[in-house]
Every structure is written in structure tokens, then in C-alpha cells.
Amino acid sequence: MFNKIMKILSFSGLFIASLALAHGEDKPGPHQGHVRMPGAFHTELVPVGPVEYKIYLLDIGFQNPTTERSVVTLRLRQDTSEIEAKCSASKDFFSCKFPEDTKFNSGALEVKASRLGSPGATAQYKLPLEFTKMKH
């Protein structure tokens, strides 16, 4: 019985990992950023400077970015510290900027968003940002 459960858990883990990669973590998104799927939409994080990021809220097909009825919070978590960026909405993306002296050596960027009123889970982007290689 234990072996059967372990096989099911192993298969489930592989399946979930492949679904995550199928949703864009292995290649750049439509704006050349890093993509996660925190809910019924995708978040695309695009570095635009040493302390600034654009965040696009995309539909399930990686299209139709919007800020309408949407909210974004961007945080940097490192060990026990947390820094929140100041985010403002443009027509189709959020611009988020950290203080000038922020160092991005380790930790993770976390995006908490709702798109068109639909909330998502926290999307985590481990630092340094890189695209996950798919294993076949």
C-alpha cells in the first residue's frame, strides 16, 4: 500500500511540474518577461531597470493585458526582510519600483494580484531571475 501511495505522489509531482512549465515558466512571455499562473490568469514580470519592473496581467492565453479592476503588489523577500515596491497602473501594465538602494542578490520577488476582480494566489519569482529548463 505504501509503495502504491508513493508512486501516485511521484506521478502527481511530475504532472504538476509539467503543468507549471506548460504555463510559460520555461520561456519568455509575450513581453519577454517571466510568467507565472497564480489563478485564472497569468502574471508576467519584466525587468526594466535595476530597481524597476513591469507586471502584465494576462488572460489564460497569454493575451489581453489589463489593469482595469485589477490590483498588483510586488514584494522582495530576503531571509527575514521584506521590501514592498511602489506600483502604479498604466493602460495595460503595472509599473513597480523599489527604493534605489535595493539589492536583488537572493530571495524572491512575490506578485500578489487580482485581474478584472478575480484574485490570484501569490506568484513567486526566485532570484536571480532565469527561465526554467524543461526536461524531456
| Phi, psi of 122, rounded to the nearest 5 degrees | -75, 125
pLDDT at 6 exceeding the cut of 60:
no
What would the pLDDT profile of 15-72 be if each residue is shown by its tens digit?
343 344 445 678 999 999 999 999 999 999 999 999 999 999 999 999 999 999 999 9
pLDDT at 1 (0 to 100): 55
Dihedral (CA of 121, 36, 113, 53) sign:
positive
The DSSP string of 13-40 is HHHHHHHHIIIIITS--TTS-EEE-SSS
Residues 95-118 pLDDT 10s: 999 999 999 989 999 999 999 999
CATH 2.60.40 holds for 28-126: yes
The pLDDT value recorded for residue 8 is: 43
Consecutive H or E run containing 7: helix 2-20
Contacts of residue 102, defined as CB under 8 A and 6 or more positions apart, other chains included, come to 51, 76, 83
Which residues, in sequence order, are CB contacts of 16 under 8 Å at separation 6+? none
Range among 3-7, 119-123, 126-130 rated most confident? 119-123
Predicted structure pTM score: 0.81
